[in-house]
Amino acid sequence: MRNYEISEKRLIDDIEAIAGWSESDPAAGYNRPTFSPSWAAAREYIIAESRRLGCSVKTDPAGNLHARPAGLSWDEPAWLCGSHIDTVPSGGKFDGVVGVVVALELLRTQPEAALELVVFAEEEGTTFGIAMLGSRAWAGTLSAEQIKPLKNPAGIDFAGAGEAFGVELDKINPGSFGFPLDRYKGLIEVHVEQGSGLWEKSLPAAVVTTVNGRRQYSGSLEGVANHAGSTAMADRLDALAGAAELVLGLESLGKEFDALRPGSVLTTGALTVFPNAVNVIPGKADFMLDFRSPTNELLATGDLAIRRLLASIGEKRDLETHIHCFENLPALPFDPSLCDRLRRAGAELGIPLPDASSGALHDSAILAPYLPTAMLFVASKDGVSHNPAEFSRPGDIAAAARIVAAAIA
């Protein structure tokens, strides 16, 4: 069995080097906001390692970094492989970084492969407010006009902060892909699972076949705000009590959805109570929901079930109810033949490779409409992510790297 010369030690050294460039005390998490000195230093490390291998390096107008081996011209079709190095505030060492260091290790060990490393800018969206900004702008789904007003917490806009890293807003063309599409055979992104499925089963990796669709809702329950001392229990129209019933009902619905189609999730993420005072019966409760599923059928039937539950609580408690779906993203299947290619690579290497769906969005989801795209998940310890406790086993990361090496060989 080939091991494609992948070195666990080098992968871990890369992860530690990148973590070492983070802003704060590692005990408080790893911070690398996009275009910050810590992010720039981590990016500089990737550039230096790539150049040391003889790679040529370039940036695109959205601030994404690209590296190709010396023997591979920028016009030849290549496999795109990479992820991101920006973090959420107090993030972990592995989110995004795993995909980048795998691509770097492949550049080191598979010099003959048609491979292009990519580091996408501003994946998390916690610096400039739009997630996957670099990949969206590169793919042409975000215009310069949409990017212009975006500022980091210091008040510096994306173009200003990114100028030193290749950002040129006037070269971003909405509707057209940043580089000619025929330069790419496809995109393979290795990423930590950010869920516990693989870890619990002691499996190293999975082929991500779908990115979950997502519906997000805002809504309200309205009753009557009244004196908490003088209004009898029988006479109350308590919006918060109705909301409490809704939250628990939605939790049960979420469990039913997950039983029907594993990976489906339903969350009441926000609840605002009015007037929110100790001696006033709440007259209004505003809520926000996030509903995700790997299948569009369940998103549609689930939508009806959510609306029915809210209406029935309103009727029973004599509360006025409203609900509005403000985001409706369908489930996105990855390229079936690329998924097959990864499965065959896993089989060749004797690495068990189940299918998974991704509950979170990644740069891959942005590029999937344009390029044959698939992802490999690596097991996340206890499913913890966006947290300094984030951990993936070196052996599992190396297994993912070997699968990609076999898939692109």
The site for Zn ion (CB under 5 A) is made up of 95-96
Query: Within 10 A of 186 (CB to CB), how many other CB atoms are there?
Result: 22
Distances (CA, A) of 199 to 187, 231, 380, 399, 405: 25, 52, 6, 14, 23
In the bound state with Zn ion, the residue whose beta carbon lies nearer, of 95 and 238, is: 95
What is the DSSP pairing of strand 205-211 with strand 355-358? parallel
CB of residue 204 to Zn ion, shortest distance in Å: 18
Closest approach of Cβ 191 to Zn ion, in Å?
A: 6
Residue pair 369/248 in contact (Cβ under 8 Å)? The answer is no
Q: Give min distance, CB of 210 to Zn ion, in A.
A: 17
| Shortest Cβ 310–Zn ion spacing (Å) | 33
E-strand stretches of 38-133: 56-59, 65-68, 78-84, 115-120
Cβ distance to Zn ion smaller for residue 244 or 360: 360
**For Zn ion, which is the closer residue by CB, 96 or 195?**
96
Q: Residue-wise over 378-399: b if at least 16 C-beta within 10 A, else e?
A: bbbbebbbbebebbbbeebbbb
Q: Closest CB to Zn ion among 95 and 116?
A: 95
Least separation in angstroms between residue 95's CB and Zn ion is 4
Do the beta carbons of residue 284 and residue 243 sit within 8 Å?
no
What tokens were used for 331?
A: 């489930």
Q: Which is nearer to Zn ion, 49 or 95 (CB)?
A: 95
Q: Contact, 306 vs 289, CB < 8 A?
A: yes
Instruction: Report the residue closest to Zn ion, judged by CB.
Output: 96
Least distance in angstroms from the C-beta of 93 to Zn ion: 12
Mention every residue, 6+ apart, whose C-beta is less than 8 A from residue 133. Answer: 34, 62, 121, 122, 123, 125, 142, 147, 150, 158
Half-sphere exposure of residue 117: CA atoms within 13 angstroms, side-chain side:
35
Closest Cα partner for 371 from 379, 363, 383? Answer: 363
In the complex, what is the shortest distance from the CB of residue 190 to Zn ion, in angstroms, rounded to a whole number? 11
Name the nearest CA neighbour of 135 among 407, 385, 371.
371
User: Residue 310 or 365: which CB sits closer to Zn ion?
Assistant: 365
As measured in angstroms, the least distance from the Cβ of 86 to Zn ion is: 9
Complex with Zn ion: residue 23 or 95, whichever CB lies closer: 95
- Nearer to Zn ion by Cβ, of 142 and 378: the residue is 378
